Structure 1
Amino acid sequence: MAVMSTALKFGWLSPVIGNRDSDYRPIAQYQDRDILPVALPHFDSLWLADHFYGFDAKTDPFLEAWTTLTWLAARHDNVQLCHHVLGHGYRPPALTAKMAATLQVLSGGRFVLGIGAGWREDEYRAYGYDFPKPSVRFAQLEEVVAICRLMWTQENPSFSGTHFSIDGAAAPPLPDVVPPVCIGAGGEKIGLPLVGRIADMWNAPSRGTVEDWNRKLGIVHDAAGRAGRDPASIEVSVTLERPLPETDQDSEKLVEELDAHRGRGVGHVVMDFGNPRSTEPVLRFAEQVIAPLRA
């Protein structure tokens, strides 16, 4: 099978939910002990979703994303760390900036701020958070990113926007490496132009036709060019929910699929394998999928 020469990056998404398939134990806790020590030496990044409760039953365990990623950062020191992705409305902007600066310092510069405009209205309402229309949420997101970058780089930052403001919101110690910003978005009118203007990485929808993908990527690149940015500087990632390979044929199909994504400009694939109970297919994926795509 043909493989292009550009190496892919690989992310591992660890589910923070616990349900009947995991004996109601958060999967990330099990993976931390039994899976991640074997898996992560082969992966570039570790990702966690940001929600407060699950999608089947509210009583299912569901770990908070910042706390869990910080816990995993201390236990696995060889990967980038990113949320998939934070809903900016769940935390005040200055608090988000301060937490990010702290985790960046403690992790030795491995943190990526994965963030989006939020979408789960019932969760916002349940926690007493406002849930404005999409145009407002994305305008807020742009101000959140601006505040974060000021607080990561200035000793006495101030900002006065339409939605948020800070006045001397210091966040010492300032990180030596400013966290990259990964924005998850798919809307062609508001979200994708925002990605092109301000994001370092785009976590893109993986669904749709090749024509859909080319159009969305074109919107991002056009917006970047109009903002005076190099479109090629925006790293493109997609998230794929797939089972781990059980056979050589399974691996070949995954190589072909991921190579096709790479051919469309994707540089970072985030894999959601669910709840694997054995490391054997993990090693198969590393040897038969990751290795040839990195060759």
Structure 2
Amino acid sequence: MRLGLHIANFTWPDGAPRLGAALAEIATAADEAGFERISVMDHLWQIGVIGPPEHEMLEAYTALGFLAAHTKRAKLLTLVTGVVYRDPGLLAKAVTTLDVLSGGRAMLGIGAAWNEEESRGLGLLFPPTAERFERLEEALRICKQMFAGDETAFEGKHYKLDRPLNSPAPLSRVPILIGGGGEKKTLRLVAKYADACNLFPVPDIERKLDVLRKHCDDVGRDYDEIEKTVIFNFALSTGVGEIVKQFERFAGLGFTVVHGGVRNVHDTSQFEVFQKELVPAAEAL
């Protein structure tokens, strides 16, 4: 099992003047501690479960480019890109740029988007749910095509690309992760297009996995080739032993990545615990 760090809160001591320096310290510490991947949210306002919208929030792909310059090993991604925030051609280019500049460490995390208030506030496209999922499927097809270097014209219901040129090409095969546990649409898209899924640790998480397995059977996909990632709160105050028990539970369900946040992440001394105890414990599972 591997660990991922999700950075969702940028409201730290000293505010914006030191935000860049603090983020660099966090990224370097997490990379050196052995986190296999680092993610940021794709939001432009802070979300309600973390803080008020006025709290600091960084644009995702600018932030990931910054993280690329301050890490050497960790994969980099959004958890997850809102499909309607960028047209697919631009999104594929942004992820490819991240991959090239990071030495082949980009992933594409993507979902149907949900924050209507944020979108309306900034004048961004936010169509009804059904259309967002239609756009998500088209975006997945376009990104896979562009990552593969296929310049064939694309014409869908919502997007038309005359020549989806993508130069330079990614250095690696960019993995695609779809976030969300919607059983009728999201998990079916995972089965059809994704290399990985990302689920919340809800009480019926085992049933979510069973639904994904059924979708894989329906589309002729090998369920086991899809990486299963679970969101997790690394609450160090509960003790290493309790966290490892949760790792063991998730491993038993077939999850291979535990990905989540660290309270007061700007206090980088906490990463010593991960380096010495939690990363080795996870890797042993």
TM-score, scaled to structure 2: 0.91
Q: 2:8 aligns with which of 8, 15, 22?
A: 15
Give 2:262's aligned residue. Answer: 273
Structure 1 residues 24, 286: CA separation in 2 closer, same or farther (over 3 Å shift)? Answer: same
CA distance in 2, matches of 1:78, 1:67: 19
Structure 2 alignment gaps of length 5 or more:
none
Contact 1:38 1:279 in 2 (8 A): yes
Give 1:244's aligned residue. Answer: 236
Q: 1:32 aligns with which of 23, 36, 42?
A: 23
Q: Deviations over 1:186-217 (max 9, x none)?
A: 1112111111111101011222x2xx112111
Q: Deviations over 1:196-252 (max 9, x none)?
A: 111101011222x2xx1121111112212222221111101011123235xxx7000
- The offset of 1:75, in angstroms, is 1.6
Paired amino acid for 1:188:
E
Please give the root-mean-square deviation of Cα atoms over the aligned residues, in Å. 2.0
Paired amino acid for 1:29:
G
Q: Deviations over 1:146-193 (max 9, x none)?
A: 011111223523111112121112111112323110000111121111
- The offset of 1:135, in angstroms, is 2.4
Paired amino acid for 2:283:
R
Q: Deviations over 1:62-107 (max 9, x none)?
A: 1111001011101212110110101010011110011111211121
CA distance in 2, matches of 1:26, 1:273: 22
1:224 aligns with 2:213: no
Contact 1:112 1:179 in 2 (8 A): yes
Paired amino acid for 2:5:
W
Q: How does 1:43-58 map to 2 (within 5 A)?
A: 43-55=35-47, 56-58=51-53
Q: How does 1:46-195 map to 2 (within 5 A)?
A: 46-55=38-47, 56-154=51-149, 156-195=151-190
Contact 1:244 1:285 in 2 (8 A): no
Q: How does 1:185-224 map to 2 (within 5 A)?
A: 185-207=180-202, 209=203, 212-224=204-216
Paired amino acid for 1:167:
D
Which is worse superposed, 61-70 or 24-33?
Answer: 24-33
CA distance in 1, matches of 2:157, 2:219: 21
Structure 1 alignment gaps of length 5 or more:
1-7
Give 1:235's aligned residue. Answer: 227
Structure 1 residues 281, 175: CA separation in 2 closer, same or farther (over 3 Å shift)? Answer: closer
- The offset of 1:280, in angstroms, is 3.8
Q: 1:289 aligns with which of 265, 269, 278?
A: 278
CA distance in 2, matches of 1:60, 1:27: 15
CA distance in 2, matches of 1:144, 1:27: 36
Give secondary structure in 1 for the equivalent of 2:110. strand
Structure 1 residues 188, 49: CA separation in 2 closer, same or farther (over 3 Å shift)? Answer: same
Aligned residue pairs, count: 280
Paired amino acid for 1:231:
Y
- The offset of 1:60, in angstroms, is 2.4
CA distance in 2, matches of 1:219, 1:26: 47
